[in-house]
Amino acid sequence: MINIFVLIKQVPETHDLQINRATGTIIRDGIENIINQDDLYGLELGLSLKEKYGGQVTAITMGPPHAESALRECLAMGVDHAILLSDPVFAYSDTLQTTLVLKETFDTIKDYDIIITGTKTSDSSTGQVPYQLSEALEIPLITDIFSLDIDNKNNLLMCHRNFGHESQNIEVELPVLLRINRYFNEPRHVSLSGIKKAYSKEIEVIDYRCLNSPSCIDGRKKSPTRVIKTEKPEQLVRKKSFIEGTTTVKVKKIIELMTEHGIERIWTGSHSRAEDE
């Protein structure tokens, strides 16, 4: 039986994004939170592999207690088990501290064959965790996958990937970590029956003590990343004007505007007599 783990993250809905000006961190309480969009493609891959080859799919997320709602959605999609990594010690973790928590978790789980992640998260977009986790667990990481198959008998994963200008065929022994690109597949919709089943299942909570309280983990004190400032970019509104009149009038006005802003010179290579003098 293949044990598949999909890493997801609950993130603020983009239009609800708010920033704590004092700490420079994103405010996550009291706003709408959703599953990170890229992670849905990882969930779909995990479920598809289970349907084709058998096995079990577990969704894992690290976050505050309310992140349970994201795991409920994963259960509604069809995953078999859900794990919430939650403890005040994990708060303010950067990607390195997050990786250390995940490493300790998988060292505790021990029995894993495939770990799947998305490409990046909408609230930070660093995309570092897959690379760091593969190093921490000392298992291969494969990115930019185009198609894949599993040989259950020989415990092998075969995949085709497009990497830059190269097309590669890879064969690797399990366990392996897969980073899935957006639009790799089409995530399934959540059914009403799936929602009903999701709320009848228990979510496993793993805290700092469950990991034997490793001294290397302390999100607030040991994260090497320091947030100096976080800003939400403002969308610029372009100026526009309407030109009335006949075609001849419009063309004349456009040429005048182009000349005024130096665009005519760029397009035609012309320049004024004043510049020659």
Is the Cβ–Cβ distance between 174 and 113 less than 8 Å?
Answer: yes
3-state DSSP assignment of residue 230:
coil
Tens digit of each residue's pLDDT (9 = 90 or more) over 212-250 = 999 999 998 888 887 777 666 677 777 778 888 999 999
Surface-to-core class of residue 189, CB atoms within 10 Å of its CB (0-12 exposed, 13-18 middle, 19+ buried) = exposed
Structural class in CATH, domain 3-222:
alpha beta
Indicate the length of the chain as a whole number.
Answer: 277
Tens of pLDDT along 167-181?
Answer: 999 999 999 999 999
Please give the C-alpha separations between residue 84 and each of 49, 63, 102, 120, 127, in angstroms, as whole numbers.
23, 7, 11, 19, 21
Asked if 192 and 72 touch (Cβ cutoff 8 Å), the reply is no
Domain positions in the chain: 3-222, 247-276
| pLDDT tens string 81-115 | 999 999 999 998 989 999 999 999 999 999 999 99
User: pTM of the full predicted structure?
Assistant: 0.77
Cα–Cα distance for residue pair 105/115, rounded to 1 Å: 12
Amino acid at 99: T
Element counts in the chain: helices (H) and strands (E): 9, 12
Q: How confident is the model at residue 206 (pLDDT cuts 50, 70, 90)?
A: very high
Q: How far apart are CA 4 and CA 177, in angstroms?
A: 10
pLDDT for position 273: 47
